[in-house]
Amino acid sequence: MRFYRSNHKRDINKLNKLGVVCCFDNDESKLDEFIDNYDSTMNSLNASDFYFFSKDYYLKLIYSTDFETRLYSCLYNGEVICSGFFVFFEDVVQYHLGGTRSEFYHLSPTKMMFDKVRKDAIELGCKYFCLGGGLGGRNGSLFNFKLGFSKHTEEFRIIKLILDEREYRDLSSHVMNDDLFFPQYRKKL
């Protein structure tokens, strides 16, 4: 925690004092609560359909044999208030998806969740914890929030390869062309 921004430390301490706990639990009941929290968060952000997934998608993540996926949940008085999916592979942990119940946004329980995952990752011998970047690769508020855990950043690159040109054009037909945004069909209208 020594590299955390002071408000991140303060919020984690406040959550501890309130009795909020964070744990890893891939039980299907926790998955249903994750889906509710995640979908609610995406709706509050007016996210495109691209950011919504079926329950089957999440189950495939949990039961994958290629990597380990863990569902972490923060509980307050026994209720899941925040949860997220994290992918563990070799010495890397990658944050995948997360959501918070709207009435608990003000507590910022994601901070506690990231801290718990960091601790577990160290115990498991992981060397890297990738929180990802900002929305659309930009350095906005999401990226700034993540920088509160560490100032250490690495350059990240993606391969912009389109395998089916016709399908890509069809999916992207509803948005204005923006060479900086990929894939085009994920751009909000």
pTM: 0.79
| 134 and 179 part of one domain | no
Alpha-carbon distance of 99 to 106, in angstroms, equals: 13
| 181 and 113 part of one domain | no
Average of per-residue pLDDT across 31-41: 94
Model pLDDT for residues 159-184, shown as the tens digit of each residue: 777 888 888 888 888 777 766 677 77
Task: Tell me which H or E stretch contains 83.
Answer: strand 79-89
Instruction: Count up the domains in the chain and report the number.
Output: 2
| 67 and 149 part of one domain | yes
Query: Residue 149 belongs to a domain with what CATH number?
Result: 3.40.630.30
Average of per-residue pLDDT across 110-114: 92
| 175 and 149 part of one domain | no
| 86 and 177 part of one domain | no
Model pLDDT for residues 114-132, shown as the tens digit of each residue: 999 999 999 999 998 887 7
| 26 and 94 part of one domain | yes
Query: pLDDT band at residue 23, thresholds of 50, 70 and 90?
Result: very high
Give Cβ neighbours of residue 156 (< 8 Å, ≥ 6 apart).
Answer: 133
pLDDT at site 96? 93
What is the sign, positive or negative, of the torsion defined by CA atoms of 37, 40, 42, 44?
negative
Domain that holds residue 175: 157-189
Alpha-carbon distance of 116 to 118, in angstroms, equals: 5
| 141 and 86 part of one domain | yes
